[in-house]
Amino acid sequence: MRNTVFLNDDREMPLLGLGVYKATGDNEAESAIAAAVSAGYRLIDTASVYKNEENVGRGIAKCGVPRKDLFVTSKIWNTAQRLGDIQGAFERSLERLKLDYVDLYLIHWPVPGCYLSTWKEFEKILDSGRALSIGVSNFEIRHLEELKKVSGIVPAVNQIECHPLCYPRELIEYCQDSGIVVQAYAPLARGAYLDNDVMCVLGTKYAKTPAQIGLRWAVQKGISVIPKSVHSDRIASNGAIFDFTIEKEDMDIIDTLNQDFHSSHVPEDLRDIQF
Ligand SMILES: NC(=O)c1ccc[n+]([C@@H]2O[C@H](COP(=O)([O-])OP(=O)(O)OC[C@H]3O[C@@H](n4cnc5c(N)ncnc54)[C@H](OP(=O)(O)O)[C@@H]3O)[C@@H](O)[C@H]2O)c1
């Protein structure tokens, strides 16, 4: 199968990327990017709230792959949305990354009362050519429906938690029917399914690790995955998912493991409000 997916703006995005949340140690993101690039990854997923954009920028500059062959994502945090400081936050991300543009800029969370006006500012960023695509994260169907009422620009991507223990099928189908590519964050559930009996049995059957089975399950559904690791052996192993196919009956078995388990939580500033 292809290892990229077309976005609704005709741009191509790798199905596999490196997540760098919590890669905040000295040069941790930088060395993870070097390992990822040599393992064939071309997408890097960061965010202003991860506080590692400078280090990510150094990793990108030093990794040996031309900028045009990489796909870099960053995200706007909730505080900037509340302040209405969309353009400022975007400029600061670019400055920290030392980049002229990002490939994808995402609204990290649908902050109530803010996300629609944030999206109108995102349209201007898109027009300026400094974000080649724009999208959203943690949006539910109702947020996407609200967006549709105010904008003709459909988000290129909705980045949501998705893995065998968290499979929001209705939202995924809605996105895919609307031309929105789903990107799975926490695609390893931060380790929660790696010792699951079914995933281990399937791992043995395909001579793959449970992590590879979980990641492959997602990409076979056209869902992009951004596993995080700072260890080069894990980075390489997590990326080795394009040389086998999970049979339909096993895909269906993995679908049944869903228990709406979230390994990542709603941020504190959104916890007590209906969003
Ligand atoms: N948009 C959002 O709201 C949002 C939320 C959460 C995450 N994200 C993005 O999605 C990325 C991935 O999600 P995540 O970091 O939360 O979780 P994840 O990728 O599911 O899991 C990462 C954890 O699994 C470990 N790990 C990685 N490969 C492994 C392997 N092969 N075997 C055993 N353990 C392994 C990592 O440890 P080591 O690093 O020590 O290997 C780390 O502790 C993030 O880095 C971030 O870019 C976005």
Indicate the domain borders of the chain: 4-270
* Separation CA 221–CA 181 (nearest Å): 11
| Pocket perturbation via mutation, ligand 1, pick of 33, 109, 190, 228 by most ligand atoms within 8 A of CB | 228
Q: Do the Cβ atoms of 105 and 73 come closer than 8 Å?
A: yes
> 193 C-alpha vs ligand 1 centroid, how far in Å?
13
Q: For residue 271, name the pLDDT band (cuts at 50, 70, 90).
A: confident
Instruction: Give 25-42 pLDDT, tens digit per residue.
Output: 999 999 999 999 999 999
User: Considering only CA atoms, which of 165, 74, 80, 69 is closest in space to residue 117?
Assistant: 80
16 CB within 6 A, ligand 1: no
185 CB within 6 A, ligand 1: yes
Q: For residue 173, name the pLDDT band (cuts at 50, 70, 90).
A: very high
* Separation CA 132–CA 239 (nearest Å): 25
> Hey, what CATH topology would domain 4-270 get?
TIM Barrel (3.20.20)
| 123-141: average pLDDT | 98
Q: Model pTM greater than 0.85?
A: yes
* Separation CA 17–CA 65 (nearest Å): 15
Q: Which amino acid is at 151?
A: S
| 158-170: average pLDDT | 98
Nearest CA to ligand 1 atom 16: 186
Taking the alpha carbons of 138, 54, 91, 73 in that order, is the dihedral positive or negative? negative
| 228-241: average pLDDT | 98
Instruction: Give 47-72 pLDDT, tens digit per residue.
Output: 999 999 999 999 999 999 999 999 99
Joined tokens for residue 218: 């997602």
From residue 6, alpha-carbon distances to 133, 154, 259, 268 in Å are 12, 14, 30, 34
Under DSSP, the state recorded for 105 is E
| Pocket perturbation via mutation, ligand 1, pick of 50, 229, 266 by most ligand atoms within 8 A of CB | 229
Instruction: Give 69-116 pLDDT, tens digit per residue.
Output: 999 999 999 999 999 999 999 999 999 999 999 999 999 999 999 999
Query: Residue 86 phi/psi, 5° resolution?
Result: -70, -50
At 274 the pLDDT is: 61
Instruction: Give 175-226 pLDDT, tens digit per residue.
Output: 999 999 999 999 999 999 999 999 999 999 999 999 999 999 999 999 999 9
> 3 C-alpha vs ligand 1 centroid, how far in Å?
20
Residues annotated catalytic, as ranges: 50
* Separation CA 246–CA 32 (nearest Å): 28
> 148 C-alpha vs ligand 1 centroid, how far in Å?
31
19 CB within 6 A, ligand 1: yes
At 275 the pLDDT is: 56
> 162 C-alpha vs ligand 1 centroid, how far in Å?
12
